[in-house]
Amino acid sequence: MVLVMNKSINVNVSEQGLHDITQQVQAEVDAVGIAEGLCTLFIQHTSASLLIQENYDPSAKVDLESWLNRLVPENDPLYTHTLEGADDMPAHIKSALTASSLSIPVINGQLALGTWQGIFLWEHRHNPCSRKVLVHLG
């Protein structure tokens, strides 16, 4: 018998940037009691993304955020999709350049992340909001 579980987690974000959701995802693994399998995450938004990245030194987050903001600046005169503000189109581009889903093995009931790896929701908009991440365990 294969145990499969689908759940969603809501992530409230207060600002643009990387938000660590590792503990929320591990809590779902714990709740299901799956020992071995695969955890697939999918974010249901087009202006935020998912990332596995260093969770030890906060300067890594700052550098990633700064680099992506320089790569995809706000207020570029080429943008026509600006209905929701200067961060609207850049958020969609940033989302297209990053990931909307991740797959992480589960071994002995734990997400098989490396020593300094964490799972992050990367919010590309400035305003506070709630994001929905689907969690599929199987």
Give the CATH number of the domain where residue 111 resides: 2.60.120.460
> Which residues on adjacent β-strands are paired with residue 41?
102, 135
Domains held by the chain: number: 1
Is the pLDDT confidence value at 3 over 90? Answer: no
Q: What per-residue confidence (pLDDT) applies to 55?
A: 95
Is the pLDDT confidence value at 108 over 90? Answer: yes
Residue 131 lies in domain: 5-74+81-137
Q: What per-residue confidence (pLDDT) applies to 2?
A: 58
Q: What is the DSSP letter of 90?
A: H
Q: Mapped to the 3 state alphabet, what secondary structure does 15-74 carry?
A: CCEEEECHHHHHHHHHHHCCCCEEEEEEECCCCEEEEEEECCCHHHHHHHHHHHHHHCCC
Give how far the C-alpha of residue 48 lies from the chain's centroid of Cα atoms, to the nearest Å: 7
Average pLDDT over residues 54-68: 96
The pTM assigned to this predicted structure is 0.95
Dihedral of alpha carbons 114, 91, 28, 62, sign: positive
Is the pLDDT confidence value at 48 over 90? Answer: yes
